[in-house]
Amino acid sequence: MPTREPIILFYSRSGHSQQLAVALGAALQTPPVRLGARFYGLPALGWLLAGLDGGRGAEPRLREPLPDIEPDALVILIGPVWADGPAAPLNTVAALLRPRGNPVAAILTAAGPDSPDKALTALQARLGRGLVLADSVPNPLEGTPGYGARVADLAGRLRSLMVLPPEREVAS
């Protein structure tokens, strides 16, 4: 059964999204690719800029260009929710993916009162099409018995999205 290759692109400021990306990467046997953006790593100013840019839907310049993404690859975006919006670097990636036909999954990490649903809706609007999987993992779940089960569930759902539909299969 032909499958599409997954590519995990993640942004993490405090480590929650990185932990999820690494866990899903291990489960899917693909190394995650970290997205970098300037300024957000600064101590106090970085937190302020992150919240402002997330809330207003900014598209910051990435430090590195996106890696090569095959046309049929399943793109998996992982990052935090900032002020009810996706982390600004995810906005940039969604805008860059907009003209491509890749299926895109988004899994956001969230703490406190931020709304992952609003952030996922905003990310989908930026992408200009539906997400094939839109979900979130609350930060407080880390370190609990439920975290591994949640990662396993997400990995299983992502694996099912990696199977090419019959009309996309290539004759050998």
- In terms of Cα–Cα distance, which of 122, 20, 1, 2 is closest to 10? 20
Mean pLDDT taken over the chain: 90
Share of the chain above pLDDT 70, in %: 96
Q: What is the DSSP letter of 148?
A: H
Q: How many domains does the chain have?
A: 1
Residue keyed to tokens 């995650």 = 32
- Domain enclosing residue 121, as ranges: 6-165
How many alpha carbons fall within 13 Å on the CB side of residue 50?
A: 23
pLDDT at 29 over 60: yes
| Digit-coded pLDDT (tens) for 113-129 | 778 999 999 999 999 99
Q: Could you tell me if residue 115 is inside a domain?
A: yes
Confidence of residue 43 (pLDDT cuts 50, 70, 90): confident
Where does the pLDDT of residue 111 fall: very low under 50, low under 70, confident under 90, or very high at 90 and above?
confident
In a domain, 95, yes or no: yes
Domain at 65, CATH number: 3.40.50.360
Q: Which residues neighbour 51 within 8 Å (Cβ) at sequence distance 6 or greater?
A: 82, 83
Q: Is the pLDDT of residue 42 over 60?
A: yes
Band (pLDDT 50/70/90 cuts) for residue 39 is confident
Render pLDDT for 68-85 as a digit per residue (tens, 0 to 9).
999 899 999 999 998 888
User: Rounded to whole angstroms, how far apart are CA atoms 87 and 53?
Assistant: 8
pLDDT at 168 > cutoff 60: no
Three-class DSSP category at 3: strand
Reported as half-sphere exposure (CB side, CA atoms, 13 A), residue 18 has a value of 7
- Taking residues 145-155, what's their average pLDDT? 96
Per-residue confidence (pLDDT) for residue 52, from 0 to 100? 80
In a domain, 171, yes or no: no
Domain membership flag for residue 1: no
Q: Is residue 127 part of a domain?
A: yes
Q: Note if the pTM is more than 0.85.
A: yes
23, 29 contact by CB (below 8 A): no
145-162 vs 16-28: helix crossing angle, rounded to 10: 50
Average pLDDT over residues 9-32: 96
In a domain, 10, yes or no: yes
Distance CA 116, CA 155 (A): 19
Give residue for tokens 């942004």. 11
Q: What is the mean pLDDT of residues 128-151?
A: 95
Is the model's pLDDT at 170 over the cut of 60? no
Rounded distance, CA 70 to CA 118, Å?
29
